[in-house]
């Protein structure tokens, strides 16, 4: 191994990285995104929702990134996760030889670490590391100094330490930290980047090689719990690993995605911060985790849910912070140009202020599912459920903003009313099955029947034989596909079959499914378009299977699997025309859909 002199022609990381070129690493409290070019262009420290110290993904290299790759190289030749883990290997074949970079974040003791191990595989390869730390979403250039063999960056509340083992020649240039060295076959250089609050002393150093072994052991011990052993097991397990990686370990909350403002339309304004926990995901998440055998994670998610929604039911939010925080003020970051010039870049989420009646049903359904699955039920859970029903009894006839958080006028969304029915139905069932529970059974039966009757009268179009997006509307909505899944009507009901066919025909795009009609500016209050919504196509597969069209469902499932990138990850949306992933990435809802559909199609009870 040989140190080389500084160079002035440093490679640029400013080129746009396709969303599908990103891979995820994380430590169950935050996550980083690594491109095929070896650059980490997104990382928030110390939590998922903390300000980013690498924000090149939403701007350019001057907003922060860390690239390690062979000199003058572009994208890696190949890459893959180590089996059953979140440890990423990227390999480059060059004229001088081959090299591997292994990226991971060890489960933290106190401080978050990013470990990058460079290993020579063949020949003699020159490797460069270019680190540009920019705190507060790429806006703050830290003060950099040397101490005890480290490079130390400090600005405000943030401090980051960088070291290499063995030490390689490192220098500062153009507000960046650069290293250049060679590796031959069998030689290794490990870089460790560690964050801590700037007012605290440096945390204990981690051994990069021991951390690698421990990370692999931890992941493989966790994945060994997976019950599913059917077709496409690798895809299911990768989705489960992704959900685990999006879990904030201290509380059990699961973020919708580790990113903000990756656009639903390149150059558009549909850019949202998804680094929070949505109640809408609760039942589907819980069901996927329990069915796959991860009861500990399911119980942690259920407990997070109970803590988050505790209090006055009138104050129930649709989204909370990682620890159940309620205030998520939305503001714009003008110094970031946005991915593909998609401005504005938003921090926080204004949807926290919306009324969405469906979340009450989703919370109650989650509590019912947890109880049926044998999770220990806290004594206050039933009281909470009755409080939610009392609120719905007073408010269910009001319009709301619906599942998709529209920023247009409130409407009587059919899915919202269906989920009110779910809340009443699950409560009625619990009282019928357990006479010891306290509650007015007749009252909740009456509520259930009233909601059902109104939805069938006002939310159904008999001429087209389909339910509609909202009362009196001619528009359709993919959420209507969930009507048979939640038990509102049986799968063989002609109204269900007609709805599935209508949604499939009118919302289909490139063999996949939009969440609602393409031009709904009046409804969602936003200009522009979006791609197909990935989880909606999984819902279509589920609905087709439930109505006996399993062959079609499996064909659609295969098409959806083909949307994943080379390391098995899915974004929120997909553009069938450009064949590009869109929206925040990776998206928990998409991976929850994949797991649920695979279990429905190929699980032990799926049938032929």
- Give me the long-range contacts of 293-300 (CB less than 8 A, separation at least 24): 293/225, 293/226, 293/227, 293/228, 294/225, 294/226, 294/240, 294/244, 295/373, 295/375, 297/243, 297/244, 297/247, 297/252, 298/370, 298/373, 298/375, 299/252, 299/370, 299/375, 299/376, 300/247, 300/251, 300/252
CB atoms within 10 A of CB 107: 17
Percent of the chain with pLDDT over 90: 83
Residues 75-99 as b or e (16 or more Cβ within 10 Å = b) = ebeebebbebbbbbbbbbbbeebbb
Task: Give yes or no for residue 6 having a pLDDT over 60.
Answer: no
**Model pTM?**
0.94
CB atoms within 10 A of CB 269: 16
Phi-psi region of 530 (alpha: psi -120 to 50; beta: other; left: phi over 0): beta
Domains with residue ranges and CATH for the chain: 19-196 (2.70.98.40), 233-602 (1.50.10.10)
Task: Give yes or no for residue 9 having a pLDDT over 60.
Answer: no
Mean pLDDT of 550-555: 97
Cα–Cα distances in Å, from 76 out to 22, 37, 69, 86, 424?
12, 6, 8, 18, 54
| pLDDT value of residue 527 | 65
Give the position of tokens 């049986």.
490
Task: Give yes or no for residue 4 having a pLDDT over 50.
Answer: no
| pLDDT value of residue 3 | 41
Return d(Cα 586, Cα 242) in angstroms, integer: 8
Task: Let me know the angle formed at the C-alpha of 584 by 523 and 407, rounded to the nearest 5 degrees.
Answer: 20
Name the pLDDT band for 608 (thresholds 50, 70, 90). low
Task: Give yes or no for residue 116 having a pLDDT over 90.
Answer: yes
Nearest CA to 443 out of 494, 481, 392 is that of: 392
Name the pLDDT band for 315 (thresholds 50, 70, 90). confident
3-state SS assignment for residue 82 = coil
Question: Which tokens go with 291?
Answer: 């069915």
* Under 8 Å between Cβ of 132 and 121: no
Return d(Cα 127, Cα 75) in angstroms, integer: 14
Task: Give yes or no for residue 14 having a pLDDT over 70.
Answer: no
Q: What is the mean pLDDT of the chain?
A: 93
Query: Which span out of 13-22, 234-243, 380-389 was modeled with the highest average pLDDT?
Result: 234-243
Name the pLDDT band for 13 (thresholds 50, 70, 90). very low
Nearest CA to 594 out of 568, 574, 567, 576 is that of: 568
Return d(Cα 307, Cα 311) in angstroms, integer: 9
The helix or strand, by DSSP H or E, that contains position 135, with its residue range, turns out to be helix 135-138
Return d(Cα 343, Cα 563) in angstroms, integer: 26
| pLDDT value of residue 523 | 64
DSSP β-bridge partners for residue 116: 103, 191
CB atoms within 10 A of CB 494: 9
Name the pLDDT band for 518 (thresholds 50, 70, 90). low
In the chain the first and final C-alpha atoms are separated, in Å, by 58
Return d(Cα 244, Cα 301) in angstroms, integer: 11
Angle between helices 588-602 and 233-245 (to 10 degrees): 150
Return d(Cα 368, Cα 363) in angstroms, integer: 9
Q: Classify residue 205 as exposed, middle or buried by CB count within 10 Å of its CB (0-12, 13-18, 19+).
A: middle
- Report which of residues 207 and 517 the model is more confident about: 207
């Amino acid at each position: 191994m040989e140190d080389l002199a500084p160079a002035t022609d440093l490679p640029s990381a400013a080129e746009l990285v396709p969303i599908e070129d990103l891979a995820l690493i994380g430590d169950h409290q935050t996550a980083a995104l690594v491109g095929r070019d070896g650059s980490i262009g997104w990382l928030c420290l110390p939590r998922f929702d903390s300000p980013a110290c690498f924000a090149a993904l939403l701007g350019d290299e001057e907003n922060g990134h860390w690239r390690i790759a062979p000199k003058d190289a572009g994208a890696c030749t190949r890459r893959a996760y180590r089996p059953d883990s979140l440890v990423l290997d990227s390999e480059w074949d060059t004229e001088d030889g081959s090299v591997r970079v292994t990226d991971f974040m060890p489960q933290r003791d106190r401080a978050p670490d990013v470990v990058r191990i460079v290993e020579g595989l063949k020949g003699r390869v020159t490797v460069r590391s270019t680190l540009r730390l920019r705190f507060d979403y790429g806006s703050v250039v830290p003060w950099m100094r040397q101490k005890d063999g480290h490079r130390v960056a400090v600005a405000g509340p943030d401090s980051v330490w960088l070291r290499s083992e063995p030490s390689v020649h490192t220098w500062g240039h153009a507000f960046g930290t650069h290293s250049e060295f060679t590796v031959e076959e069998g030689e290794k250089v490990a870089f460790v980047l560690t964050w801590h609050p700037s007012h605290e002393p440096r945390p204990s150093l981690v051994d990069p090689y021991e951390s690698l072994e421990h990370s692999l052991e931890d992941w493989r011990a966790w994945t060994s719990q997976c019950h599913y052993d059917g077709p496409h097991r690798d895809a299911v397990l990768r989705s489960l690993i992704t959900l685990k990686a999006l879990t904030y370990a201290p509380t059990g909350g699961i973020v919708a995605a580790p990113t903000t403002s990756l656009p639903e339309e390149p150059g558009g304004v549909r850019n949202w911060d998804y680094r929070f926990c949505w109640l809408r995901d609760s039942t589907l998440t819980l069901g996927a985790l329990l069915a796959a055998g991860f009861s500990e994670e399911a119980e942690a998610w259920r407990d997070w849910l109970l803590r988050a929604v505790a209090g006055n039911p009138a104050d129930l939010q649709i989204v909370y912070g990682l620890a159940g925080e309620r205030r998520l003020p939305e503001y714009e970051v003008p110094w970031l140009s946005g991915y593909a010039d998609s401005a504005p870049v938003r921090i926080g989420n204004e949807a926290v202020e919306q009324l969405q009646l469906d979340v009450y049903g989703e919370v109650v359904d989650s509590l019912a599912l947890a109880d049926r699955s044998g999770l220990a039920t806290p004594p206050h859970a039933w009281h909470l459920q009755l409080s939610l029903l009392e609120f719905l009894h007073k408010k269910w006839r009001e319009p709301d903003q619906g599942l998709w958080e529209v920023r247009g006028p409130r409407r009587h969304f059919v899915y919202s009313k269906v989920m009110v029915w779910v809340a009443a139905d699950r409560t009625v069932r619990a009282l019928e099955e357990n006479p010891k529970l306290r509650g007015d059974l007749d009252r909740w039966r009456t509520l259930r029947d009233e909601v059902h009757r109104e939805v069938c009268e006002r939310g159904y179009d008999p001429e087209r034989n389909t339910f509609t997006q909202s009362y009196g509307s001619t528009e359709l909505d993919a959420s209507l596909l969930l009507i048979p899944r939640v038990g509102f009507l049986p799968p063989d009901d002609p109204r269900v079959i007609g709805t599935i066919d209508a949604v499939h025909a009118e919302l289909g795009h490139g063999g996949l499914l939009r969440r609602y009609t393409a031009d709904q500016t009046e409804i969602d209050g936003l200009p522009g378009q979006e791609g197909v919504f990935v989880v909606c196509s999984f819902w279509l597969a589920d609905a087709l299977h439930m109505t006996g069209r399993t062959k079609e469902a499996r064909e659609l499932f295969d098409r959806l699997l083909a949307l994943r990138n080379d390391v098995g990850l899915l974004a929120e949306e997909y553009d069938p025309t450009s064949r590009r992933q869109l929206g925040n990435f990776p998206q928990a809802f998409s991976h929850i859909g994949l797991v649920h559909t695979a279990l429905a199609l190929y699980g032990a009870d799926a049938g032929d």
